[in-house]
Amino acid sequence: MKHITVSLKNKSYPIYIASRGWSQLAQAIGGKIRGKKVMIVCDENIYPLYYNSVKSVLISMGYQVCSAVIPPGEASKSFEQAQKLYTQALEARLDRSSSIIALGGGVVGDLAGFIAATYMRGIGFIQIPTSLLAQVDSSVGGKVAINHPLAKNIIGAFYQPDLVFIDPGTLISLPSREFATGLAELIKHAFIADPDFISWLEENMDAIIARDVEILSHAIYRSCQIKAGVVELDERETGLRMILNYGHTIGHAIEAATGYSEYTHGEAVAMGMVYEAGIAEKMGLIKQDYINRLADILERAGLPTQLDTPAWDLIIERMNHDKKNVDQRIVLVLPIGYGKVKIFKELTPEQLKQFLE
């Protein structure tokens, strides 16, 4: 079982990447779950696949287990769904020594983490991500949140998990579109931090698409290493951690402008990376070959690279609500070379519209 430690000032925690599936979950948990009551939050798709496997391990370790099942999809990251989970936690008599386990993709992790961070001012929290997007991105770093109709992830907290347990075997049955959406974040990590990882992904993309578990395990491990390294240097996104938002300023705006229903998060981020690379090229920061190489690997991963009919006025209006903005100026993370990005805080909406059109 591969192991990465996220070393933070106030709390460090392990990321385990299993080689033998759920049989290693008990070993990973050890004594890291607080108290004896555990509520597993999962969605309607994940519940029949993995809930009983996780529940069996926990019961064998002496824990009392209950479930909270939510509808799948980004719409569940809402005040309404959060209220339902608070009610279920109260009805299950979870107390300050209890824990919440997020079993599922990024939506489940963000929502369950938000509940764990705010219920009784914070209880135990464990991430068991089952989608590639959650395994390489949202489960690592402690960002938990719900959405507002005007902006994604605008209501949330930094709340680090007690541990992250990743079973790459869960990716074998993942729908192709959901698998591809995770590849967008994995590719992003390569382009912001590791040119060698870009080349490795290009060489191994066919095996990744074929769901070769050994190849996937390495890709997940390296991606988590990159994100953990950034988080360790800037846990609360006061500076450096913003580089993880490459593709996200435009990507989040695309999601919000289309009601969080037309594109997956990874699809929006993929297009966001290409558009933000286009801005960087117009600013003289990179050459066209960067954009071509980025677009090629995204397309091989099954991801879109541009909108059919971009409504830039609406998208830029949504960008004005981005949580990274400073003094009414839109903050963008733009590439300045392979494996290198820089944060720009001086671009106005008018300049962006000119670049994008």
pLDDT score of 162: 96
Q: Are residues 83 and 124 in the same domain?
A: yes
pTM listed for this prediction: 0.91
Q: Are residues 218 and 113 in the same domain?
A: no
Q: Are residues 165 and 277 in the same domain?
A: no
Last residue of a domain, one of 140, 155, 171: 171
Q: Are residues 158 and 56 in the same domain?
A: yes
pLDDT score of 190: 98
Q: Are residues 92 and 56 in the same domain?
A: yes
Give the Cα separation of 165 and 22 in Å (integer): 9
Tens of each residue's pLDDT in the chain, 357 residues: 999 999 998 899 999 999 888 999 999 998 888 789 999 999 999 999 999 999 999 999 999 999 999 999 888 999 999 999 999 999 999 999 999 999 999 999 999 999 999 999 999 999 999 999 999 999 999 999 999 887 778 899 999 999 999 999 999 989 999 999 999 999 999 999 999 999 999 999 999 999 999 999 999 999 999 999 999 999 988 888 999 999 999 999 999 899 888 999 999 999 999 999 999 999 999 999 999 999 999 999 999 999 999 999 999 999 887 767 766 678 899 999 999 999 998 888 888 888 988
Q: Are residues 188 and 264 in the same domain?
A: yes
Neighbours of 65 (CB within 10 A): 19
Q: Are residues 166 and 125 in the same domain?
A: yes
Give the Cα separation of 273 and 268 in Å (integer): 9
CATH number at residue 341: 1.20.1090.10
Tell me the Ramachandran region of residue 142: left when phi exceeds 0, alpha when psi lies from -120 to 50, beta otherwise: left
pLDDT score of 353: 86
The 10s digit of each residue's pLDDT in 303-312 is 999 999 999 9
Q: In this structure, what token pair is assigned to residue 7? A: 């070393």
Q: Total domain count for the chain?
A: 2
Last residue of a domain, one of 147, 171, 195: 171
Q: Are residues 212 and 316 in the same domain?
A: yes
pLDDT score of 357: 82
Q: Which amino acid is at 165?
A: F
Q: Are residues 333 and 252 in the same domain?
A: yes
Residues 281, 283, 285, 291: what is their CA dihedral angle, to the nearest 10 degrees?
Answer: -10
Catalytically active residues are 121, 143, 185, 227, 237, 241, 245, 248, 252, 265
pLDDT score of 71: 96
Give the Cα separation of 36 and 166 in Å (integer): 22
Q: In this structure, what token pair is assigned to residue 101? A: 């386990």
Q: Which domain holds residue 100?
A: 2-171
Q: Are residues 185 and 328 in the same domain?
A: yes
Q: Are residues 48 and 192 in the same domain?
A: no
Q: Computed from CA positions of residues 293, 298, 302, 306, in that sequence, does the dihedral angle turn out positive or negative?
A: negative
Last residue of a domain, one of 123, 142, 171: 171
CATH number at residue 32: 3.40.50.1970
pLDDT score of 328: 66
Q: Are residues 134 and 237 in the same domain?
A: no
pLDDT score of 50: 97
pLDDT score of 129: 98
